[in-house]
Amino acid sequence: MFNSNSIQALLNLITSCVRAKNNELATPGKGIFTNLFFFVFFSSLSSGFNSMAATTLTDIIKPLYKHIKEEEMQENVSTLTAKILGMYPENNKIR
C-alpha cells in the first residue's frame, strides 16, 4: 500500500502547494490556512486507520476468535484489540 517514502513525498507536495497558496495571500494569519489543511488531512487519515481497524476486527479477528475459542469475544478484549489495531499503521506517525 503506502510506504513512508510515498507518504513523505505526498506531504512534501502538499506543503509546497500550501506555501505557494500562502504566498498569494498578502494578509496576516496566512498560517491558518496551512493549519486547517493539515488538521483536515490528519483527521481523515486517523479516521481511515480507525475504520480499517474496526473492519479487520469485525470481519477477520472475531470470527477467528470464535472458531478457535468456541465462544464470543468479550467486550473488553474486543475494545483493546481495536485500539491496538488503530495504532498499528506505524503508530500513526509519518516519518
Q: 23 or 60: which carries more pLDDT confidence?
A: 60
Nearest-angstrom CA–CA distance, 4 and 1:
10
Query: Has residue 71 been placed in a domain?
Result: yes
pLDDT tens by residue, 1-55: 556 677 777 777 777 766 666 555 555 566 777 777 788 888 888 788 888 888 8
pTM of the model: 0.53
How many domains are there within the chain? 1
One-letter-per-residue 3-state SS of the chain: CCCHHHHHHHHHHHHHHHHHHHHHCCCCCCHHHHHHHHHHHHHHHHHHHHHHHHHHHHHHHHHHHHHHHCCCCCHHHHHHHHHHHHHCHHHHCCC
Query: Has residue 78 been placed in a domain?
Result: yes
pLDDT tens by residue, 50-59: 888 888 889 9
Confidence of residue 63 (pLDDT cuts 50, 70, 90): very high
Structural domain harbouring 37: 4-89
Query: Has residue 69 been placed in a domain?
Result: yes
Nearest-angstrom CA–CA distance, 51 and 49:
5
Q: What is the mean pLDDT of residues 55-64?
A: 90
Query: Has residue 95 been placed in a domain?
Result: no
